[in-house]
Copies of this chain bind each other. A is one copy, B any other.
Amino acid sequence: MAEPEAFLAEPGDTREELMGATYRALCAHGYADLTVDRIAAEFSKSKSLIYHHYDGKDDLLLDFLEFSLKHFEAGLPFEEAATDPDDHLRRVLDHVLATSLPEERREFAAAMVELRAQAAHDDRYRDAFATHDRFFRDRFAAIIEAGQADGVYASDVDPEAVATTLVTLVNGSMNRHVTGDGEHAAAVRETIDDYLDDVLVAET
């Protein structure tokens, strides 16, 4: 399964190579100083090829965003076979609420935080991130529903509400790793585990 650590290290075709060049330019310069020239400088093929496929920087960045979110989603351990929904949920949380981020994952998170901020003024970015949030929420909710069906989780909890809260925590945690300090993550996980143990897990 693809991991953000190896994001586009081995591009399979021209589009993936251009996505890799966009990623490297975004990490190096940040969104505000990103230009097609700077992306082209990371790209082994010609700048005119970029303009052959894209109208310009905005068009390219939106394609990069959708590509990156799909890549990120594919790397999440949602689809792993799991006999125990509670164990599955905690393994997903281990992945998305890491207490420390290796440099490669921090760079990817920084790129996503910067692109996400563009949604403040651009509905196309907002739509892409709203879709991503729903993807995340639906998969969390499916695990919680499986736990309720198994009798592991309490039946009076709304899976969508819990899933929405987890998505909001993952968003806030990624944002704080990139824009604040990373020390929050262990405390967040401790509180979630208390919630899972004392509210979500059904009394036996």
Contacts and interface: CB of A to CB of B under 8 A. Distances in A.
Chain multiplicity (copies): 2
A159 to B, nearest CB: 10
A178 interface: yes
A69 interface: no
A110 B114 contact: no
Contacts of A164: 184, 187-188, 191
Nearest to A200: B194
A164 B195 CA distance: 15
Given A129-B180, A190-B158, A199-B194, A169 B167 contact: no
A90 interface: no
Contact of A117 (B117, B126, B130, B167): B117
A7 interface: no
A51 to B, nearest CB: 21
User: Does more than half of chain A's interface fall in helix, strand or loop, or is it mixed?
Assistant: helix
Interface in A110-148: 110-111, 113-114, 116-121, 125-126, 129-130, 133
A120 B190 contact: no
B191 A121 contact: no
Contact of A30 (B114, B120, B179): B120
Contacts of A32: 31-32, 118
A176 interface: yes
B130 A180 contact: yes
A165 to B, nearest CB: 4
Interface of A: 30-32, 110-111, 113-114, 116-121, 125-126, 129-130, 133, 157-158, 160-162, 164-165, 167-173, 175-176, 178-181, 184, 187-188, 190-192, 194-195, 198-199
16 contacts: A30-B118, A30-B121, A110-B120, A116-B117, A116-B179, A117-B117, A126-B179, A129-B179, A158-B190, A161-B187, A165-B169, A167-B184, A168-B188, A172-B175, A195-B195, A195-B199
